Amino acid sequence: MLRIADYQSAPDASAASWIIAGLRGFAESVVSFVPAGFEAYGRVFHPAWRHEPDTPVLWREVAQANGRLAHRGMQWPSITGEHLDGYRHPQPGIWDREPDEGSLPRELAPALVSVLSRHTGNPERCWFAVWEGWGCLAFDRAAVPAFEIPNRRLLLFAGPITAVGTSLCESYFQSPSIWWPDDRAWCVETEVDAMSTYVGGTSECIAELGARNDLEAMTVEPSDGVMWASDQLNPPP
């Protein structure tokens, strides 16, 4: 059995079978990230950062500063007016570092744990899947059970819900890509190329996430788009 911080390798990948069955396509909609069938879905926006001192910046603040509309389907290039040329163009005075991509920011983990632990009967028994392609994973990938979803191969670990606050990498913080409790009461997903984390759960659970002051979260529809071009209310980048 392989141990990394508070994670331990799963005995096999069978716990992920419902994830495989529940996803719909690749990057087409919210249910391409989180399995279909939940009562409600939410989107947690990863904050941008302004330096000296380091201060989190909400997407709605960036949208307002750029004369864009903050809404559940907003996309980072559309609210910043950024060209998709492979370069990053900070906006001094508004934001200096863009939102984390592919990992739930460590600063947000306690808030999610606080809410989600109350919405499962199994907070001490959760499953955590991480994309095998992260170069920072300093362990033998062959020693960890794996499963596949569209365009991604994931390695499966187990542990308490609080494990999500520890890193799967040594060099920098890397969260799991998908995690859920043993009773499948909710599911959290941070896609490799996404600056947001999506959550499926009960209406009450998703409403609690949206009501927190330490998260920027909104309720979304399972059919909502998730790609840069899916923002239909702001000018395209």
pLDDT tens column, 76-111 = 999 998 765 556 689 999 999 999 999 999 999 999
| CB-CB contact of 147 with 172 (8 Å) | no
Extract the runs of DSSP E, i.e. beta strands, from 5-151.
7-9, 40-45, 48-50, 55-57, 126-131, 146-149
111 lies in the same domain as 168: yes
The pLDDT, as a whole number, for residue 82 is: 76
Instruction: Please provide the average confidence, as pLDDT, over all residues in the chain.
Output: 95
Instruction: Report yes or no on 178 lying in a domain.
Output: yes
109 shares its domain with 73: no
Instruction: Give the pTM.
Output: 0.96
Residue 235 lies in a domain: no
160, part of any domain: yes
Residue 83 lies in a domain: yes
Number of independent structural domains in the chain? 2
Query: Both 138 and 26 in a single domain?
Result: yes
Domain of residue 62 covers 48-99
In a domain, 237, yes or no: no
CA distance 15 to 154: 12
Is 12 part of a structural domain of the chain?
yes
In a domain, 208, yes or no: yes
Q: 170 with 91, same domain? A: no
**Which one-letter amino acid corresponds to residue 26?**
F
Q: How many CB atoms lie within 10 A of CB 149?
A: 21
Per residue in 50-59, pLDDT (tens digit) is: 998 999 999 9
CA–CA dist 159, 15 (Å, integer): 13
In a domain, 184, yes or no: yes
